[in-house]
Amino acid sequence: MLRFARRRLFFFLFTYVLSSLIIFFLLRVLPGDPAKVIAGGREAAPEQVAEIRAELGLDVPLPEQYLSWAGNFLRGDWGKTIAFRGADNRDLILERSRNSARLAFIALALSVPLSLVLGVIAGLSENKLPDVLISLLTLSVVSLPEFVTGLFLINTVALRWGRGPLASAIGWWFPASSAVPANASFGEMLPALWLPAIAATLVLLAYISRLTRAGVIEELKRDYVRTAALKGISRRSVILRHVLRNALLPTITVIAISISWLISGLVVIEFVFGFPGLGSLLIAAIERRDLPLVQSIVMVTVTVVLCANLFADAAYALLNPRIKLE
């Protein structure tokens, strides 16, 4: 177990350092000069641009810039934002990350149980009507891009249904825009979370349910299921106590991957709904050439993704005794 933990931790650290190098140097080769953007664009005086470059540390060699940036990031000093009037990047990112975490939590709370139920039903009725209907539904939904799903929900739920007899209730629970104050409390933000969370749920639905279906079908064909039937053990008991436990193990990995997808997929969903999360902040930072803010947001994203995958590896190894930890 200890050797397994050391290997996974080494892989985590290696990937983390490599990702930081890619992020840093990739952003440096993009066209445009942040110092010119701050100074006012093409009409800025060269002396003013040079002064800003020195202030941002852009006038030193790239290796020195990287070491300075990486060290400051690990210490929690993420610099000042260019696009948002000199606000602290760390405070801004943590505030928006909290909002995105709320949205991701509701999306996972909706998608995981629903996907597991649909996947189990489809697996237990392989090639029968429930399996066909669930497969058609989930594959049809997942084929739609996130922005199409989001626009469909806005047009159908918020706008069309919002004009009917339940207009007041629908308008409060499912507003067309999720543009609420970034510092709003969870209760104040809750109505603005439902439609974006449903949009994310519809995309996640197919991935988790299809894997669950495949796992159930595979386990039902195992020898121990036939042996249990010959011993007179009820099918329901075998399914609940053995089949589902083994079939749902791979779903842990998929849920971790879903967290990774949520981080990238929520960028589009937050932009469509105008939700003040980390994704919309990233788009604003890219549009305004706010290099320090972009670097910090991407590194926070990498940290969350790597931690989710590390947790998935550890959980899968602990729950599945067939995995050789050594």
| Sequence spans of domains, the chain | 2-74, 92-319
What is the token pair recorded at 253? 């990995």
Between 266 and 282, the more confident residue is 282
DSSP annotation of 88 = B
Q: Does 320 score more than 80 pLDDT?
A: no
Please provide the average confidence, as pLDDT, over all residues in the chain. Answer: 80
Q: Is a pLDDT exceeding 80 seen at residue 52? A: no
Contact indicator for 73, 299 with CB cutoff of 8 Å: yes
pLDDT at residue 118 greater than cutoff 80:
yes
Question: Which pLDDT tens digit goes with each residue over 249-277?
Answer: 777 777 776 776 677 668 888 888 888 98
Closest CA to 252 of 131, 110, 115: 115
Which of 57, 42, 102, 71 has its CA nearest to residue 278?
A: 102
Mean pLDDT check: name the lowest of 127-131, 137-141, 260-264: 260-264
Among candidates 151, 109, 158, which has minimal Cα distance to 271?
Answer: 151
Q: Which two structure tokens, joined as six digits, stand for 242?
A: 């053995």
Q: Residue 53: which of 68, 38, 42 has the closest Cα? A: 38
Token pair for 170: 């629908």
pLDDT value for 42: 67
Output the CA torsion 200→206→207→213 (10° steps): 150
CB contact at 8 A, 204 and 109: no
Instruction: Tell me if residue 10 falls in helix, strand or coil.
Output: helix
Q: Which band of pLDDT confidence, cut at 50, 70 and 90, is reported for residue 1?
A: low
Buried b (16+ CB within 10 A) or exposed e, 54-90: eebebeeeeeebbeebbeebeeeebbbbbbbeeeebb
Which of 54-63, 205-214, 256-265 reaches the highest mean pLDDT? 205-214
**CATH tag for 92-319 (out of 1.20.120.450, 2.60.40.10, 1.10.3720.10, 3.40.50.1980):** 1.10.3720.10
Q: Centre a 10 Å sphere on the Cβ of residue 324 and count the other Cβ atoms it contains.
A: 7
Calpha distance 305→309 (Å, rounded)? 6
Nearest to 112, CA basis, from 13, 12, 251 = 251
C-beta of residue 209 within 8 angstroms of C-beta of residue 304: no
What is the model's pLDDT at position 18? 92
Of 22-31, 160-169, 214-223, give the lowest mean pLDDT range.
160-169
Report the 10 Å Cβ neighbour count for 32: 9
- The predicted model gives 91-120 an average pLDDT of 89
Comparing 3 with 41, which gets the higher pLDDT? 3
Q: Which two tokens stand for residue 85?
A: 């009037």
What is the token pair recorded at 76? 């929690």
Q: How confident is the model at residue 164 (pLDDT cuts 50, 70, 90)?
A: low
In the prediction, which pLDDT does 313 show?
A: 75
Ramachandran assignment for 127, one of left (phi > 0), alpha (psi -120 to 50 degrees), beta (any other): left
**How many residues are present in the chain?**
326
Backbone region of residue 203 per phi and psi (left: phi > 0; alpha: psi in -120 to 50; beta: other values): alpha
Reported as a pLDDT band with limits 50, 70 and 90, residue 323 is low
Please give the pLDDT value at position 326: 46
Whole-number pLDDT of residue 145? 79
